[in-house]
């Protein structure tokens, strides 16, 4: 479940980090199939509304939640983001899936209080739900203009393997348990 970062904005789906994840899983954990339910522009509320049907249809072992950027860029209340992420994690766990939450960051446009609260929300949700947390997946990417598209928000094709490498150490322990 994700937004444009996981929906491979500005490139083909086959070039995105989620497709690279599918390739890595085929080699390392061949029993897994990846379903990319990410939509560019998705908010946590939109994803939370879509999640029950996706859980029923796919019956996943692991759910990766990469959301929040659009909530933050729109200035939505952080409490709403947190509530939606908690709901998604709990629904996924109730369906028998392990949950990995990918922390997101936003530019400081909305002030330090909002930015800090936004950043801390991912840790809090992971702790409150017993989910696995992956730090900001664009670490080492977002501050490198060569790895970002011209909009300054979305990573390039060249950055996709780095995104996967940032997520993998936090995902792999969940795969071992399932």
Cite the beta strand spans of the chain per DSSP E.
62-65, 98-102, 132-134
Q: Which position among 12, 27, 112, 151 bears the catalytic label?
A: 151
151 is catalytic: yes
154 is catalytic: yes
Q: Which position among 6, 44, 154, 170 bears the catalytic label?
A: 154
Q: Which position among 4, 38, 87, 121 bears the catalytic label?
A: 4
Question: Is there a contact between 73 and 42 (Cβ–Cβ < 8 Å)?
Answer: no
Residues in CB range of 26: below 8 A, 6 or more apart: none
Residue 113 to residue 175: CA distance in whole angstroms = 36
Residue 106 to residue 68: CA distance in whole angstroms = 9
Residue 1 to residue 65: CA distance in whole angstroms = 5
What are the catalytic residues? 4, 151, 154
């Amino acid at each position: 479940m994700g937004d444009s970062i996981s929906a491979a904005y500005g490139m083909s789906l086959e070039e995105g980090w989620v497709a690279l994840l599918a390739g890595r899983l085929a080699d390392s954990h061949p029993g897994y199939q990846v379903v990319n339910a990410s939509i560019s522009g998705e908010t946590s509320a939109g994803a939370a509304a879509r999640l029950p049907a996706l859980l029923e249809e796919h019956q996943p072992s692991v759910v990766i939640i990469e959301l929040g950027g659009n909530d933050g860029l729109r200035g939505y209340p952080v409490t709403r983001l947190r509530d939606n992420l908690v709901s998604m994690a709990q629904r996924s766990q109730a369906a028998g899936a392990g949950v990995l939450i990918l922390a997101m960051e936003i530019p400081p446009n909305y002030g330090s209080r909002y930015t800090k609260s936004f950043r801390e929300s991912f840790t809090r949700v992971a702790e409150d739900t017993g989910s696995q947390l992956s730090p900001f997946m664009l670490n080492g990417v977002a501050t490198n203009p060569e790895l970002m598209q011209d909009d300054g928000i979305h990573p390039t094709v060249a950055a996709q393997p780095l995104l996967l490498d940032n997520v993998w150490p936090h995902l792999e322990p969940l795969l071992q348990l399932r």
